[in-house]
Amino acid sequence: MTLNDILVSALAQLDRGHDAQTMEVFRERLTGFANDGQDDLARAMGFDRTDPVTPVNGLVELDRLPRECIKVEKVVQLGREVRCTRERTGLIGLPYNEPAEITYRCLPKKLSSPTDVSELPAGVHSLIVMYVIGRERMAGDASTQRGANIYLSLYEEAKSKLRPHHGDKSSYEIINRW
């Protein structure tokens, strides 16, 4: 779903129009809610990506990765997984001064343009809509706030069923590291 699809769906379920004027009134606030929702889902499902890096004197600055790094999961260098050391905050050391691939947990790119599509899997885009509706209802008067708990409860229940490993083999292995 594009950001525009998320906003139109949320406005429709909130019984508000989705004409250009209504979209302009609600766009900024609902976009903020959509970004908060996708960040929450990314943390719950362990969203990660792999990017190439080139160390300088065996060191990699994590700030130079395309997304904000939450946790380094693995580093592959010279065709095999290698250990990395934490030198300082935002800086890791690698054993070789060769190009590497870092797999890391991160947050998806913020949605801003109407045509932006969330980097999260398509199966969770409807949860972003639920989150937006719940947050918008929470901001209303007392009568609309009661409806927020239904949407947020459904959102939390669906989020609790997300798994960070998607059934990959390494999630079930017991590795003796000593």
Using DSSP, how many helices (H) and how many strands (E) does the chain show?
Answer: 4, 7
pTM for the model stands at 0.84
> What pLDDT shows up at residue 177?
65
Express each pLDDT in 107-143 by its tens digit.
999 999 999 999 999 999 999 999 999 999 998 777 7
Express each pLDDT in 66-110 by its tens digit.
998 999 999 999 999 999 888 888 899 999 999 999 999 999 999
Exposure string for 28-47, b = 16+ CB within 10 A, e = fewer: eebbebbbebbebbbebbeb
Angstrom distance (rounded) from CA 167 to CA 146:
37
Exposed (0-12), middle (13-18) or buried (19+): which is 146, by Cβ within 10 Å? exposed
